[in-house]
Structure 1
Amino acid sequence: MSKEIDKLNCNMNRRHFLSKTSLGIGAAALAFLLDPKSLFSSDTDPLEGVLDSPHVIPKAKRIIYLFQSGGPSQQDMFDYKPMLREMQGKDLPPSVRGDQRLTGMTANQDGLPLAGSHYDFQRHGNSGIYVSELMPHTAEVVDELCFIKSVYTDAINHDPAITFIQTGSQQAGRPSMGSWISYGLGSDNENLPAFSVLISRGSGRPFDQPLYSRLWGNGFLPSLHQGVQFRSGKDPVLNLNDPPGVNKMSRRNMLSKLKDLNQLHLNRFGDPEITSRISQYEMAYRMQTSVPETMDVSDEPDWVFDMYGEDARKPGTYAANCLLARRMAERDVKFIQLYHMGWDQHNGIPDQLPLQCKDIDQASAALIKDLKQRGLLEETLVVWGGEFGRTSYCQGKLTNETYGRDHHPRCFTMWMAGAGVKAGFEYGKTDDFGYNILENPVHIHDIQATILYLMGIDHEKLTFKQQGRRFRLTDVHGDVIEDILT
């Protein structure tokens, strides 16, 4: 291998020499003037973020984001609207709708009949917060939750809406929130990715809205900061295990020589992406031990599985992923992203929505309880919500047996719990139709700014220069939601 490195050093023709000594030296000199540290990227620790210190005192050490893909129906779960039952079947008044854009699925529909929820609501906890009968376990922990009932978004269809809430832009290609946090703050565990992703499929729909890896991608940030998807099965992380015939020592020797070659290229070209590749190879080697240990839940006692529900014993379910999220939190993974698919109930809510809620209700509540009993909730921010809400009117024909709801970006409900947010608290208010926001509107960029703030990051100051412009997660928008903070 040393001969190959020497050969690579000597393999320079006249054209290469002239380009390196003219353009190369000039570019290096300019880079040094603009950023003296840029020439010494090999001396930096990629596990440390670009921030020397947090912008503000952080209240959270990590995020667990329970993303409900498809748009949960807030009127059937958390936003109690008895008037919808009183006006069942009557058309949504034009004065309420205003000039709001509708999707192609209901724009040409003959009328917009209001649909009251099939499910009863009751007040729960010392806070007296209304929760639907579909969520009995969540009702037990309402005094730990901060409900934001006035969230709104700019997108009305799934793909741009999911991309928007995850990356701050409706167009693909921007870094995801977890990547921004990894880039800014680095990692607290050198043996596991700072940004980890778990996916589960819901029981409520036979066909789910698709999820794409770009939703947890690094965009234009160094590839070290992309999310790593953990799967159920014998290979939780793809391409991590050694191939047949390669033992641990052979892999270690190969990586050492590969690092020498990459370091040689780094010294010659100064491309920071080479540093990311070196770090990724080394991380993958360490993950061969840390990932199986993290994913092996055989040491969890029976009472833990009882708390999360019977599905917690089935790899790949939402309940199993919530348990894994707690194990990752214990190991200081900084951003843990769960996606649960199947919330797109355009029809069949009485049949489908109870199944979806059963998937997530007990496990979400158990995660809050489990984190609290282990002393982790006070330093962990848990976020729950989808990409938009559902309409108060029915899509298609309204009958006593079934109804569905279309996409509704104007208002929907999310909740947070744990580090830095008020417990047993409701923020924002929608009108009696559950259609428009009356008090304290919260934009998606405000949610993103608040999450970064709780991690110690000023969303206006964490930027990355790309193609002559400085980008950030919240673009040029966003305000921290001060009223929900402790």
Structure 2
Amino acid sequence: MTAPFSSLSRRAWLQRTSAGFGAMALHGLAQGAANPLAPLPSRLQARAKRVIFLYMAGGPSQMDLFDPKPLIQKKHGHSVAVPLPEKDKHVSTAKLLALGTEIPVRPRGQSGVTISDLLPHTAAIADELCLLRAVHADNNQHGPAALQFHTGVTAEARPSMGSWISYGLGTENQNLPGFLTIHPGIETRLYGSSFLPAAHQGTPVVLPAKVTDPAIDFLTDATTDSATQRRRFDFIQRMNRRLIEHDAADVRLEGMVQSLETAFRMQTAAPGLVDLSKETEATKKLYGIGGKATDKNGRACLLARRLSEAGVRFVQVTLDGWDHHGDIRGNLPKSCAAADQPCAGLIRDLQSRGLLDETLVVWSGEFGRTPWSQDLSGTSPIEKHGREHQPDSFCTWMAGGGVKAGFMHGETDEFGYRPVAGRVHLHDLHATILHLLGLDHEHLTWRKLGRDYRLTDVSGEVVREIIA
């Protein structure tokens, strides 16, 4: 992008920046002027066409899964002199007892990417992964940290990452939204569009336990037949367009008209996509569908592949259960068992279909966990301790979509606390994701109250070391 988007509407921005595009691109720009979800060309080289974000809600322990520390292992059960500010010492962690990793974390594949035995399926695809070991955020509480990972800020309502990407690129399938979120939590800001047009907000999908239950709310209207619904819809849209013509351009009304049209088309396209019954048994087995621990997440990850393959620009999957304040040795294996096979199955499935190179997969929690233990009761043995939140450094892996495969970037100190090399702030991560999609994070903006807002706020650098 060579100029910011603004509240003058996508149409005005496209008219101002059409010079320099080829004939085919101009056709796409003309579509984008009338349709906020039309696919848009980009002047930057795009390595990926779409994103699947696997969100491990709660904060996985990077030390137990990807970044073991010999010093902590050696000092297990003893106090360690971590350079921790007094303000960051919390109740039940003040003793700073080193909590070693019980299950080995080993180099894997030809690349040597370090992965725990708790993640055997992920370990088997190590040579496809780009592991970032020094990611950091700005807040140690779940709400603000999750908000920052999804929207770039720790407070207020801002457009989510998926909304920015939908806004910048549109969707490849005009019968579907540009952004869907599978099994989202109650915090709607994590997939909201805020001041961006409503057409770019995430559409929530909850896979039901019963196949007869709807996965997307209000997708069907049981009160009338389809012909009557079509006539009703056409009448409403004619009235809306007449109002637009009478009052000149109205960004909000234009967005509402397009949202209604997309919702109507979804009634035909979406039911078939959320129906997983037609997938082969081999594919279902790959994701762990039918398994006691893996069924829910397996179905969610398979649906993410189906939606992505169908042209949805940004698909978000929430896999929760990673908040291990107590008995991490007993509870972490359960979380890993539920997520390992579905996530690895997604990578293998994308690869087998020739989709991995053009699909960027991002796996991460909102932060990591401390290398020292947390004793919630104050009296339990260290083997029953958990780990506190740690935004100062944690691990994120990426795959496909233009990132280096079988590559590790970043290091933390001997305590596993502070980054010492390859430090990646969340703004840097967001800038890199946008760059891989062919978007310039400094130019993808929206003017509001006299300021150009963007996903990366006022900072962020593309992490070029991880780009293939």
When normalised by structure 1's length, the TM-score is 0.86
**Structure 2 unaligned spans of 5+:** 1-7, 17-29
| Whole-angstrom distance in 2 between the partners of 1:265 and 1:314 | 53
Aligned CA distance change for structure 1 residues 222 and 441 (closer, same or farther; 3 Å):
same
1:40-94 Cα shifts (integer Å, max 9, x gaps): 9996122226xx631411010100000111110011111121221210122230x
Which letter does structure 1 place at the counterpart of 2:401? A
Give the 5 Å matches for 1:239-254.
239-244=218-223, 246-254=224-232
| Whole-angstrom distance in 2 between the partners of 1:388 and 1:326 | 25
| Residue 260 (structure 2) aligns with | 281
2:142 aligned residue (149, 158, 162): 158
1:274-321 Cα shifts (integer Å, max 9, x gaps): 111111111111111211100111111111111111447999811110
| Whole-angstrom distance in 1 between the partners of 2:385 and 2:118 | 16
Which letter does structure 1 place at the counterpart of 2:165? I
| Residue 215 (structure 1) aligns with | 190
1:123 aligned residue (107, 115, 136): 107
| Residue 385 (structure 1) aligns with | 364
Q: Secondary structure at the match of 2:354?
A: coil
| Whole-angstrom distance in 2 between the partners of 1:86 and 1:313 | 36
| Residue 415 (structure 1) aligns with | 397
Q: What is the CA-CA distance between 1:248 and the residue it aligns to? A: 0.7
Q: What is the CA-CA distance between 1:213 and the residue it aligns to? A: 1.3
**Structure 1 unaligned spans of 5+:** 1-29, 201-209
Q: What is the CA-CA distance between 1:467 and the residue it aligns to? A: 1.0
Which letter does structure 1 place at the counterpart of 2:241? Q
Q: What is the CA-CA distance between 1:272 and the residue it aligns to? A: 1.1
1:314-355 Cα shifts (integer Å, max 9, x gaps): 998111100001111210111000111111101111221111
Q: In the comparison of the two structures, how many residue pairs are matched?
A: 438
1:394-432 Cα shifts (integer Å, max 9, x gaps): 111562531200011110000000011000000001122
Indicate conservation of the 8 Å contact 2:107/2:113, yes or no: yes
Indicate conservation of the 8 Å contact 1:224/1:280, yes or no: yes
Indicate conservation of the 8 Å contact 1:192/1:290, yes or no: yes
| Whole-angstrom distance in 1 between the partners of 2:13 and 2:441 | 22
Q: Does 1:230 align with 2:205?
A: yes
| Residue 97 (structure 1) aligns with | 83
1:134 aligned residue (109, 114, 118): 118
Indicate conservation of the 8 Å contact 1:121/1:131, yes or no: yes
RMSD of aligned Cα (Å):
2.3
| Residue 86 (structure 1) aligns with | 74
| Residue 373 (structure 1) aligns with | 352
| Residue 244 (structure 2) aligns with | 266
Aligned CA distance change for structure 1 residues 309 and 92 (closer, same or farther; 3 Å):
same
2:277 aligned residue (278, 298, 312): 298
Indicate conservation of the 8 Å contact 2:47/2:437, yes or no: yes
Indicate conservation of the 8 Å contact 1:305/1:313, yes or no: no
| Residue 23 (structure 2) aligns with | none
1:138-188 Cα shifts (integer Å, max 9, x gaps): 000000000000001111111000000100111131000000011111111
1:188 aligned residue (149, 172, 182): 172
| Whole-angstrom distance in 2 between the partners of 1:141 and 1:267 | 55
Indicate conservation of the 8 Å contact 1:231/1:316, yes or no: no
Indicate conservation of the 8 Å contact 1:236/1:291, yes or no: no
Q: Secondary structure at the match of 1:317?
A: helix
| Whole-angstrom distance in 1 between the partners of 2:129 and 2:295 | 26
| Whole-angstrom distance in 2 between the partners of 1:222 and 1:46 | 8
| Residue 56 (structure 1) aligns with | 44
Q: What is the CA-CA distance between 1:99 and the residue it aligns to? A: 2.6
Aligned CA distance change for structure 1 residues 101 and 369 (closer, same or farther; 3 Å):
farther
Which letter does structure 2 place at the counterpart of 1:253? R
2:296 aligned residue (308, 317, 325): 317
Q: Secondary structure at the match of 1:401?
A: helix
Q: What is the CA-CA distance between 1:439 and the residue it aligns to? A: 0.8
Which letter does structure 2 place at the counterpart of 1:415? W
Q: What is the CA-CA distance between 1:110 and the residue it aligns to? A: 4.4
Q: What is the CA-CA distance between 1:453 and the residue it aligns to? A: 0.3
Aligned CA distance change for structure 1 residues 275 and 87 (closer, same or farther; 3 Å):
same
| Residue 58 (structure 2) aligns with | 70
| Whole-angstrom distance in 1 between the partners of 2:84 and 2:293 | 47
